[in-house]
Structure 1
Amino acid sequence: MATCGGNSGLASNSDVQDTPSNSAQSAASVALSNVPNSTLGSSASPPVLPLHREPVYNWQATKSSLKERFAYLFNNELLSDIRFVVGKGRQAQRIPAHKFVLAAGSAVFDAMFNGGMATTSTEIELPDVEPAAFLSLLRFLYSDDVHIDPETVMSALNTAKKYAVPALASHCVEFVTKHLRAENAFMLLTQARIYDDPQISSLCLDTIDKSTAEAVNADGFTDIDLDTLCAVLERDTLSIRENRLFGAVVRWAEAECCRQQLPPTAENKQKVLGKALPLIRFPLMSVEKLPAGPVQSGNIFDQEVVNLFLHFTVNPKPRASNIDRPRCCLRGEECSINRFQQVESRWGYSGTSDRIRFNVSRRISIVGFGLYGSIHGHTDYQVNIQIMESDKHLTLGQNDTGFSCDGTSNTFRVMFTEPVEILPNVSYTACATLKGPDSHYGTKGLKKVTQESVAGTKTTFVFFKSPGNNNGTSVEDGQIPEIIYYRLD
């Protein structure tokens, strides 16, 4: 069975299996074929390595299986009838091989040696192939052994695809799946984009979504190119607060300035960020975080600073040039439950929070609430939403935001900047503090609401009145009619 190891397979041509000793070896030696000189020019040729070996007497008798005998011939001049010059310049290597073995394992090699336009050369140049990846391919063809590591797996996968060896390609994908971590996700994503491998790119992006903070703190994050950075920043599914993401982007900009040999000034960081800067969702930051981070950093333009402060402080809000859509690291079907059976008017606000306690039968992530809007036509509200763990009085998530309503009795979505994980059978409190005119409100509330998914999975919410001043909201009447969530199990 093939095994994955940390050795990249970058052995020199003399680094092959041990030669068995025998006192009669010199008397019964078998002559090896002379290998023709390289057809490369002297300026492009790699160093000539000592490819010839002393003839080996009866080596076959020391190998008890077919696999051992073919593995012994891997990267060995013994009986070889073809050479490959792999790589470019000083990194190039001459690698001996055997046409029969290669043709038996790869349709591409079979066509190369036996097809209608078969090569007659005894030395083939492969400047666009990495030596380590090519040696991994040959080792697999000779022995079924897989020697790859996180640094070489993508080049090995690309080479396996290039030479039509799907079994090795499958091993590479399996290796990535098994060893992919937040710490190496950006390194592997960069390679996957270079080799245009959508499958591995998707695996890497999923890992980055689930562990964004760990991934952007890894060394590989600052090594990615601008297009990869933009591809990540465009995602709605990152699980990180926007101010922390901005800090990571600033670190990337500093590294990019260094790569371009530019002083890491605010102006130069703006320059290297270019099209990535508008992808930072500054409106998702709190009004307290914005001055302490982005504004002080000098990495956003003065007019953008003005627009952002207007976004936070005036109503109606001006349109922000940066995206204000919340990010959340969730997959699958978005769900919502409405706890009221009827809508009435009117419900007033005096600075006190509407609150309702609840627990849930299964693990979910709440991403927002649906709230009732004005009874007076089109209106803008400012609102603070929160979820607290009731017994510990611990705030798990909040957002200072706003919403526009059209005067109907519909609910209007107000989202958290990050999903809030809710555990089964734990008491939580949903809070909403609205500033605006009188609104609609719900009546004939349900104490228990069960929703069944398409797959038959049931999620049950149980509601309780929140003690203290809750602006009148209860199980039977009030605000916070709708909870928007995703199932996590």
Structure 2
Amino acid sequence: MASVVELDWQCNRTLVQCLDYMLTSGLACDVTFLVGEGKARLSAHRTILVARSPVFYAMLEGRLAERGEIIIPDISQESFSLLLRYVYTDDIKLTIANVTPVLSAARKYCVDQLVKKCEEFLQTNINAENVCLMLENSHMFMEENLRQNCFQIIHDSSEKILQTTDFTELCCACVKSITESDDLAVDESLVYEAVIRWSEAECGRQGLEVTDINRREVIGDILYTVRFPIMDTKYFAREISFRDILTTKEISNIYRYDKDNMFNLCKFSVSRRHKRKPKEGEFESVTRFGRTRRARRHIWNSTYGSDSIAFRSNEDVYLHGILTYGAQDGCEEIVIGVYNEKGDTLYRGSHSLSHKTYCQVVFDDVISVCRGETIDVVLHGGVHATAYGLDGKCTVQFQDVIITFLDSTSHPCVSTNATQGQIPGLLLSL
């Protein structure tokens, strides 16, 4: 039923404002919808609806047009109200909480401009903090494009997302879709720990005592997406082997696989997950010196020869290049080599230095550095540098990662070491 109507309500209102007033006041409505599980009554105007949506046109004016009150059971009252208001006004206030159900409703009724607006909102607002909510919504409303966008973010920030509270609030199907992915670029122990935290939350949701037996029960087939056979053996023995998450036979078989990689483990995958590909050109400078001093002409490199430094990281990182000091003569060619602790060449290339105090030298290829691995960076033949660094830091924090700088033992150098010299920084990404 229409609410009390203002006198001369049309005056001083635009067309859009008048249409909005007619919708919100219920004035002259000629169609009623019963929306959602509670069958909330929402009234509208046939003429407006059929002008804006081919689905509403078929529903209200086509050969199979419905008569009387129309039941809409699969859309919530809030989402249908927002859809109607957009149909009348071309205006909507989207939020992370309402955008997915509104998108689903807009697709159902072929309101294409609203679909586009929702997709643009998602493109600019979905991130690692809300991606679990968006993944759950994509599953609930069967939005495949949104699901793919969610997985791109999850694969880029796997470790962070697995540790969020939102991960523990996902449904079983969404958890499995994450943990079974080959592109989940984290250590397998983190996948296991995330599944355990989720199982504790799920036990609470189901009113079960948090025991290993109940954890196993609620985890179900998700358990087989955790790649126990490729875990660190010491971690498996210390954290898992004594618990009732796995059966005695499963534990025995995993140990047997560790001795014989040809042993068939049936349900457990032994494939290693793919490492996340670095994004070209996206890196940060990680510097190691507290002070920089200008070098007098030819004081550096005339007798010192090559310059080298070693480093290691407590997490997997990508090395995109290094920072160097500039060349005294304005332009100088240098050869840079990067080597692992076995002496394998990871990179070797020639680069030009300018006269700037600092030069970013970006490698032709990005180097994947595993946590705990010692890497040597060498300026072969050194450089006639404009400056050198002092008060070197042995450890530097890069986001949540610790980078440790060391004297190079594989390519020892008189002039450059962990506390002074050349190679003032690294270009890194996670």
- Does 2:238 match 1:285? no
Equivalent in the alignment of 1:241: 187
Identify the residue that residue 210 of structure 1 maps to in structure 2: 156
Which of the residues 50, 59, 62 maps onto 2:12? 62
> 2: CA distance between counterparts of 1:275 and 1:294?
17
Q: How many Å separate the matches in 1 of 2:261 and 2:33?
A: 69
Match of 1:120 among 64, 67, 80: 67
1:53 matched residue in structure 2: 3
1:448–1:460 Cα contact (<8 Å) kept: no
Trace 1:407-422 onto structure 2 (pairs within 5 A). 420-422=317-319
Cα distance change on mapping 1:316 and 1:129 into 2, 3 Å: closer
Q: Tell me, what secondary structure is at the counterpart of 2:322? A: coil
1:73 is aligned with what amino acid? Answer: M
CA shift, 1:167, in A, is 0.9
Contact 1:139/1:145 (<8 A) preserved: yes
Q: Give the whole-Å Cα distance in 2 for the aligned partners of 1:54 and 1:73.
A: 11
- Report how many residues are paired: 330
In 2: Cα distance, 1:226 partner to 1:146 partner: 33
Q: Distance in 1 between matches of 2:310 and 2:409?
A: 15
* Range with greater deviation from structure 2 (72-81 or 294-303): 294-303
- Using the TM superposition, give the Cα deviation of residue 73 of structure 1 relative to its aligned residue in structure 2, in angstroms: 2.0
Partners in 1 of 2:314 and 2:78 — Cα distance? 49
- 1:144-175 CA-to-partner distances (Å, cap 9, x unmatched) read 11122222211111111111101111111122
In structure 2, relative to structure 1, the CA distance for the partners of 1:85 and 1:215 (3 Å cut) is: same
Partner of 2:293: none
Report the CA distance shift for 1:298/1:58 in structure 2 as closer, same or farther (over 3 A): same
TM-score between both structures, scaled by the size of structure 2: 0.67
| Other-structure match for 1:424 | 321
Q: Distance in 2 between matches of 1:316 and 1:241?
A: 20
Name the SS of the counterpart of 1:100 in structure 2.
helix
In structure 2, the residue matched to 1:108 is 55
Q: Which of 383, 391, 399 lines up with 2:309 in the alignment?
A: 391
Cα distance, 1:287 vs structure 2? 2.2
Tell me the equivalent position of 2:125. Answer: 179
Residue in structure 1 matched with residue 403 of structure 2 by the alignment:
none
Query: Where in structure 2 are the equivalents of 1:86-101 lying within 5 Å?
Result: 86-89=35-38, 92-101=39-48
The answer to whether the Cα contact below 8 Å between 1:215 and 1:221 also exists between their aligned partners in 2 is yes
- Gaps of at least 5 residues in structure 2 are 284-307, 324-336, 352-362, 368-376, 381-406, 412-427
Whether the 8 Å CA contact 1:71–1:143 is kept in 2: the answer is yes
Residues 110-259 of structure 1 correspond to what in structure 2 (within 5 A)? 110-121=57-68, 123-259=69-205
Using the size of structure 1 for normalisation, the TM-score is 0.60
1:331 Cα deviation after fit? 5.0
Partners of 2:162 and 2:190 within 8 A in 1? no
Contact 1:310–1:317 (8 Å) recurs in 2: no
Q: How much does 1:135 deviate?
A: 0.7
Give the corresponding residue for 2:420. none
* Alignment-mate amino acid for residue 141 of structure 2: Y
Is the 1:266–1:299 contact (alpha carbons within 8 Å) kept by the matching residues of 2?
yes
Matched with 1:82 is 31
Shift in CA distance, 396/422, structure 1 to aligned 2, threshold 3 Å: farther
Q: Deviations over 1:216-240 (max 9, x none)?
A: 2333322222222221111111132
Question: Which blocks of at least 5 consecutive residues in structure 1 are unaligned?
Answer: 1-50, 334-360, 365-389, 398-418, 434-440, 451-456, 471-486
Deviation at 1:297, TM superposition (A): 4.2
Q: Relative to structure 1, is the Cα distance of residues 296 and 207 closer, same or farther in structure 2, using a 3 angstrom cutoff?
A: farther
Q: 1:464 to 1:291 in 2, by over 3 A?
A: farther
Equivalent residue number for residue 269 of structure 1: 215
Tell me if structure 1 keeps the 8 A contact 2:282–2:429: yes
C-alpha separation in 2, matches of 1:242 and 1:53: 61
Q: Once the two structures are superposed, what CA deviation does each residue of 1:448-483 show, in whole Å capped at 9, x if it has no partner? A: 499xxxxxx95499978996469xxxxxxxxxxxxx
Structure-1 separation of matches of 2:162 and 2:282: 27
* Alpha-carbon distance in structure 1 between the residues aligned to 2:76 and 2:135: 18
Q: Which has the larger radius of gyration?
A: 1
CA contact (8 A) 2:106 2:115 kept: yes
Separation (CA, whole Å) in 1 of partners of 2:339 and 2:249: 39
Give the AA of the match of 2:91. D
Contact 2:34 2:42 in 1 (8 A): yes
Other structure's SS at 1:158 match: helix
| Whole-angstrom CA distance in 2 between matches of 1:135 and 1:66 | 20
Q: In structure 2, do the counterparts of structure 1 residues 327 and 71 end up closer, same or farther at CA, with 3 Å as the change threshold?
A: same
What is the CA deviation profile of residues 221-268 of structure 1, one whole-angstrom value per residue up to 9, with x for unaligned ones? 222222222211111111322212211101111222233333222112
**In structure 2, what is the Cα distance between the partners aligned to 1:421 and 1:145?**
45
Deviation of 1:118 after TM superposition, in Å, equals 2.1
Q: In 2, distance between residues paired with 1:205 and 1:273?
A: 21
After alignment, is 254-263 or 191-200 more displaced? 254-263
